[in-house]
Amino acid sequence: MYLYLMRHGRALALEESNVQYDAERPLSGPGERDILVVSDFMRKMEYKPHGVFTGPFNRSRMSGEIISRELGDIPVHMDTSLLPGAGLSDVLNCLSTFDPKNQQAAMVILHEPDISYILGQLFQGEDSQYPYPIYSGDFFALRIDINKHKAMGRTLSAFSPMITRCGDHV
C-alpha cells in the first residue's frame, strides 16, 4: 500500500485568527500556498490517493480539502483519532477501511511531533523518531507493508515547500 503523510499547512496565530481555540485556527495565506505547491508536486509525481484522512482541527481539514480539490475531488474523511497525539496505530486504523485490492493509496494529514514518531516507527521500530525537522506542509510518499496491524515503510520521495523556498521557515 502507498501512504502519503503530510503535516498540515501553516496556520494563523491564535491572536490574528479571530477564533477562541487552537483547533479553530485556519490556514494562513502562505499555508494555503504551501499546500497548493504540495498538490502540484503530487500531480507531477502521479501521487493520487484514493482517500484523504484528516483530524478535526481546522488547519488539517483545510489542508485536506485543498489537496482533494486540486487532485480531483478525492474523498476527505475526518477522523477524531487523528487529533494531536495520534500514533501509528491510529493511522493504521484509518487505512484498515480501505480494500487493498481496489484502493491502494491513502493520504493522512497530521500534526507534529506525531509525524516524526510515526516515520520513526515505520523505518526503525518502536520508540524511534524521525531525525530531521518536519515543517508545516512537508510531504512524504511511502510504500508500507502491513502485517497483523504492524507496518514497515520505505520512502519513495519527500518534499518540503518550506525548503524549496530557500529556507523560509516563517
Lowest model confidence (mean pLDDT) among 81-85, 114-118, 138-142, 155-159: 155-159
Residue-range definition of the domain harbouring residue 154: 2-164
| 39-57: pLDDT as tens digits | 999 999 999 999 999 999 9
Question: What's the pLDDT score for residue 23?
Answer: 94
The count of domains in the chain is 1
| Residue 169 maps to a domain | no
Q: Quote the CA–CA distance of 40 and 99 in Å, as a whole number.
A: 27
> Which residue has better confidence, 92 or 167?
92
The type of residue at 162 is M
| Residue 170 maps to a domain | no
Q: Is residue 23 exposed (0-12), middle (13-18) or buried (19+ Cβ within 10 Å)?
A: middle
| Residue 22 maps to a domain | yes
What is the separation of C-alpha 143 from the centre of its chain, rounded to a whole number of angstroms?
15
Residue 22 reports pLDDT greater than 80: yes
Is the pTM higher than 0.85? The answer reads yes
| Residue 128 maps to a domain | yes
Question: What's the pLDDT score for residue 170?
Answer: 43
Q: Are strands 2-7 and 139-147 parallel, antiparallel or unpaired?
A: antiparallel
Residues 6+ apart with CB under 8 A from 25: 11, 12, 13, 14, 17, 19, 57, 58, 59
Question: What's the pLDDT score for residue 32?
Answer: 97
| Residue 24 maps to a domain | yes
The CATH number of residue 128's host domain is 3.40.50.1240
| Residue 129 maps to a domain | yes
